[in-house]
Amino acid sequence: MTSKSKSKNKNNNANKSETDYDIKLIIIGNPSTGKTSIVNQFINKSFNLKYTATIASDFQYKLMNLENLKYRIQFWDLAGQDNSQTYMGLFCRDIHGIIICCSCDDNKSRIDTLQWKKSLTGIVEDWVPIILCENKCDILGDTEDEYLKDVESLKNFSDENNFLCAFRVSAKNNYNINEMINYLIKYIKDKCSDKIVKSSFSSSVSDNSIKKNNRISLNKNDNAHKSKGCFC
């Protein structure tokens, strides 16, 4: 092998980075609560005003470095039309964390999170953390519903119904999205490390921006921490 060939192979190997672990997350909830917008903000840093309903499910992932280990964060966005156990069971195998989404412009959607949570019974294991996410907090200044405006009402609802915690977010304004998801990822990494699956996935370390066709994003500066918008 020539010196030039050896150098080329060495560079090729240097451009490959093994991902250490996979973390699988699912976001569920009523239609029009902004589940897809939340995922798009986290993965792609983008927001689309045009509503398009998710059919069945959508899958995206993001590569993250946490404490010198590389994680592939798989994000399954499930359609809001069906919360039957048969449907949920198809997507909840080997799940590590769940976000149940409601909306600040729809009081009923908060109540309906209990039905979504109930649909997980017998499907996911007891250790799997479930976060309550109330999206569209950017509209709170325009609503006359005092119940929705009241932060304590969301915290109490979360506590009374055994969610890990609650976050009030805005996918439109990118408020509290990273804080919420990073909090969940850090909780899984710290509290459920024995459940995380070793990854066989590999990618180029040069992929430090989004690849639209594969929806890849690598962000080395994402650090999980508790936000002031988290009611834990």
Report the alpha-carbon angle 91-123-112, nearest 5: 85
* Predicted confidence (pLDDT) at residue 215 exceeds the cutoff of 60: no
Q: Which residue has the higher pLDDT, 176 or 149?
A: 176
How much is the pTM?
0.75
* Predicted confidence (pLDDT) at residue 126 exceeds the cutoff of 80: yes
Domains in the chain with CATH codes:
19-231 (3.40.50.300)
Q: State both tokens at 62.
A: 């993001």
pLDDT tens by residue, 24-78: 999 999 988 999 899 999 988 865 665 454 444 567 889 988 888 888 999 988 8
pLDDT tens by residue, 188-214: 999 998 888 777 665 543 333 333 333
